[in-house]
Amino acid sequence: MELSSKDFMPIPISDFTTGLTIPVDLYIRLGEEKFVMVAKASTTTNVDQFKNYQNKEITYLWVRKKEYYKIAHQTMSLAGIAMSKKDLDDSKKTTLVTIAARSMFRQLEHLGMDLEVYNNAKQITEAVVGLVESHKSLSDLFLSLRSFSDAILAHSVAVSSISVMIGGQMGFTKRTTLEKLALGGLLHDIGMKALPTELVQKPLAAMSADEIQQYETHSFKGMQMLQSLGIVPDDIVSIVYEHHENSIGQGFPQRMRDVKIHPLAKVTALADGYANLVLPNVNCPMPKNPREALMFIEHTQGIPYNKEAFRALKRIIDGDKKAGVA
């Protein structure tokens, strides 16, 4: 059977590590419709071989779309195993969790939102909760995430992690609640996938009124994606739909005030706003440090988020300061 480009998905060579058993055949792309197998399933990765490809300006390996789930499952398993290893440093754990998240987002981009993608996201959130538990401070987490070039990916992992941190400080102790916060944070911007790439990459300040209106549909589109699966808990759907609402009723899409916003969405809304200030993105190319971002929310923005959630975030930042973290 002849294969064409629509049958394949790209994976960055940097995602592969030495000594890993490859669950699928790997290919390199030599032309628009020409793919050549370079590694067979069940063989062991050879990073030197992959580096040789990189020297030839080949930065991606390709797998068949219908087999990508095998790569995704392997990536999720590695992230889960990493969380249980006490001798593995936090930076490495962050890297593995972020690679797992990238795998999930890649599925979303090439295959669309389906049960496979959702279940992978659920697996990642278990690792995110473990990541938060292992990190010594919020600042350490951001230092790890700032090394990733994919801004939306790093942002989603950050929002997921910060939501768990804030929730923990607010007294949310049930593991299921923390995992809902982690999952809602990870998926909060999935509706962005339904927007034109050029719009997503455009600063809000440079958007026209029509473009802003289109941009603001992403929370509704994200809600639709999750509802279409038929199994996603209402709490997660509410987080995705309401993560841009704020306490003073100036958010979107419904302009709801604090009392009407879902309790978990209040947490994610603050985590989202905070992450936008501390990680580089189109709207904040020169990110602030954790304390500067906190002061900006408090004094410049006037705390437009849930006050209890903000006090919890402030306690987290103060803990960082006492520990000598900038």
Residue 203 belongs to a domain: yes
Q: Are residues 161 and 192 in the same domain?
A: yes
Q: Output the pLDDT for position 325.
A: 31
- Residue range(s) defining the domain that contains residue 16: 1-65
- The residues near 239 (Cβ < 8 Å, ≥ 6 apart) are 180, 181, 184, 185, 187, 188, 262, 264, 265, 268
Q: Are residues 25 and 93 in the same domain?
A: no
User: What does the alpha-carbon distance between residue 4 and residue 34 come to, in Å, rounded to a whole number?
Assistant: 8
Let me know if residue 73 belongs to a domain: no
**One domain, residues 131 and 203:** yes
Same domain, 156 and 51: no
Q: What is the pLDDT along the chain (326 residues), one digit of tens a residue?
A: 577 889 999 998 878 776 789 999 999 998 889 999 999 999 998 878 877 887 888 889 999 999 999 999 998 888 888 888 888 887 788 888 888 998 999 999 888 999 999 999 999 999 899 888 877 677 778 877 877 778 888 999 999 999 999 999 999 999 999 999 999 999 999 999 999 999 999 999 999 999 999 999 999 999 999 999 999 999 999 999 999 999 999 999 999 999 999 999 999 999 999 999 999 999 999 999 999 999 999 999 999 999 999 999 999 998 754 433 32
Tally of domains in the chain: 2
Q: Which two three-digit tokens encode residue 50?
A: 């992959």
Q: Please confirm whether the linkage preceding 253 is cis (ω < 30° from 0).
A: yes
Do 223 and 125 sit in the same domain of this protein? yes
Residue 213's CATH number: 1.10.3210.10
Same domain? For 163 and 307 the reply is yes
Domain assignment of residue 80, yes or no:
no
Residue 127 in domain = yes
**204 part of a folded domain:** yes
Position 135 scores a pLDDT of 73
pLDDT at 46: 80
Same structural domain, 92 and 43: no
| Residue 136 confidence (pLDDT) | 63
**pLDDT at site 320:** 55
Classify residue 165: in a domain, yes or no.
yes
Contact 160/128 with Cβ under 8 angstroms?
yes
Asked if residue 269 lies in contact with residue 246, where contact means CB atoms within 8 angstroms, the answer is yes
Residues 238 and 186 in one domain: yes
- Asked, for residue 227, whether it belongs to a domain, the answer is yes
**Domain-embedded: residue 72:** no
Write out the E strands in the chain: 8-12, 26-31, 34-39, 60-64
- Looking at residue 184, its pLDDT comes to 97
